[in-house]
């Protein structure tokens, strides 16, 4: 099984740039073109939050229009820039999600070796995320009902501090409970998140956890506790998670145009 993970698309209304500078839709188109040109077509596209910039209907409409052209199933997770209510209105066909409450889901197809749990960490109106008692109980129950099925957990806010001070300030509350629950469930092969606009790896409760880069702008790399809140336009990307014989292997893919591929041995150049 091959899963592509896009994150933090921050789609804006037509004609608007994010932060006055970033054409996030053009970056999404670049990522989608890269995805479509992969030698192997992924089985699934997973989008881990901050799908749009302001949770607005016209933003989701623009995203939906692009997703209709994707040649694989896709699943959405809300981030702090999203509105779960508007997502329900804009994506009524989204499978596995209930009509009310948190935007949680369990995705499982007979031909998939992995069970995918989507977890809603959003606190409406705030940048930070939370796994409250209700959400933790839901996650625990989902993991207890299928202890032998390899599982990927997807959520927007990562359950660890990254060192980038201004992002850690809008990090995930309730992470201790999350760590305890996944520690008791070794079927959790990987936890994938967004929010940081960078590819960052950590271990939580003995489980591998990582954040995906944004398809558009990156959070500036500055590990000072008082780091200024800045972004860069370093080459954007996405993650490819490959299930191989009992474990998940993750590739970080850069979507910027690149020369090649060239043969390692080119008789014409030797
Ligand atoms: Fe974001
Ligand atoms: Fe975020």
Is 265 within a domain?
Answer: no
In this prediction, residue 230 has a pLDDT band, given cuts at 50, 70 and 90, of very high
Phi, psi of 109 (to 5 degrees): -115, 150
Residue 270, pLDDT score: 75
Does any domain span residue 248? yes
pLDDT digits 0-9 by tens, 100-119: 999 999 999 999 999 999 99
Domain contains 102: yes
Distance of CA 146 from the midpoint of ligand 1 (Å):
31
* 32 within some domain: yes
How far, in Å, from the CA of 184 to the mean position of ligand 1?
Answer: 30
pLDDT at 62: 98
For residues 133 and 250, what is the distance between their CA atoms, to the nearest angstrom?
31
Span 144-173, pLDDT tens digits: 999 999 999 999 999 999 999 999 999 999
Whether 268 is covered by a domain: the verdict is: no
Whichever domain contains 228, its CATH number is 3.60.21.10
Cβ-proximal residues to 166 (8 Å cutoff; 6+ apart), any chain: 227, 228, 229
Q: Kindly state whether residue 215 falls inside one of the protein's structural domains.
A: yes
CA of residue 261 to ligand 1 center, whole Å: 31
Rounded Cα distance, 235 and 34, in Å: 13
260 occurs within a structural domain: no
Confidence of residue 90 (pLDDT cuts 50, 70, 90): very high
Residues forming beta bridges with residue 218, ordered by sequence position: 232
Domain-embedded: residue 261? no
Counting ligands in written order, which one lies closest to the CA of residue 127?
2
Which residues sit with Cβ closer than 5 angstroms to ligand 1, an ion? 8, 50
Cα 109 to ligand 1 centroid, rounded to whole Å: 29
What's the gap in Å between 157 CA and the centre of ligand 1? 10
Cβ atoms of 213 and 198 within 8 Å: the answer is: yes
Can you give the residue range of the structural domain that contains 142? 2-254
Contact 48, 79 (CB under 8 A): yes
Å from CA of 61 to ligand 2 middle: 20
Mean pLDDT of all residues in 244-266: 95
Q: How many domains does the chain have?
A: 1
Percent of the chain with pLDDT over 70: 100
Ligand 1 centroid to Cα of residue 268, in Å, is 46
């Amino acid at each position: 099984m091959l899963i592509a993970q896009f994150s933090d698309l921050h789609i804006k209304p037509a004609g608007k740039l994010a932060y006055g500078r970033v054409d996030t839709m053009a970056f999404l188109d670049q990522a989608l073109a890269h995805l479509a040109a992969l030698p192997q077509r992924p089985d699934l596209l997973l989008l881990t939050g901050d799908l749009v910039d302001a949770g607005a209907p016209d933003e989701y409409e623009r995203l939906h229009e692009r997703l209709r052209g994707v040649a694989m199933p896709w699943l959405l997770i809300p981030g702090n820039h999203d509105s779960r209510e508007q997502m329900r209105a804009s994506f009524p066909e989204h499978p596995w999600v209930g009509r009310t409450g948190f935007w949680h889901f369990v995705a499982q197809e007979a031909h998939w070796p992995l069970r995918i749990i989507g977890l809603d960490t959003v606190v409406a109106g705030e940048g930070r995320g939370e796994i409250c008692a209700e959400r933790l109980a839901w996650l625990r129950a989902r993991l207890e009902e299928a202890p032998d099925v390899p599982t990927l957990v997807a959520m927007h806010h990562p359950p660890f501090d990254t060192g980038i001070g201004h992002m850690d300030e809008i990090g995930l509350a309730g992470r201790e409970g999350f760590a305890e629950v996944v520690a008791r469930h070794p079927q959790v092969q990987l936890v994938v998140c967004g929010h940081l606009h960078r590819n960052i790896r950590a271990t939580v409760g003995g489980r591998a956890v990582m954040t995906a880069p944004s398809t558009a702008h990156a959070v500036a790399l500055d590990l000072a506790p008082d780091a200024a809140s800045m972004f860069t336009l370093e080459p954007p990307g996405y993650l490819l998670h490959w299930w191989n014989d009992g474990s998940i292997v993750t590739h970080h893919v850069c979507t910027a145009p690149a020369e090649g591929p060239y043969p390692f041995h080119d008789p014409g150049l030797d």
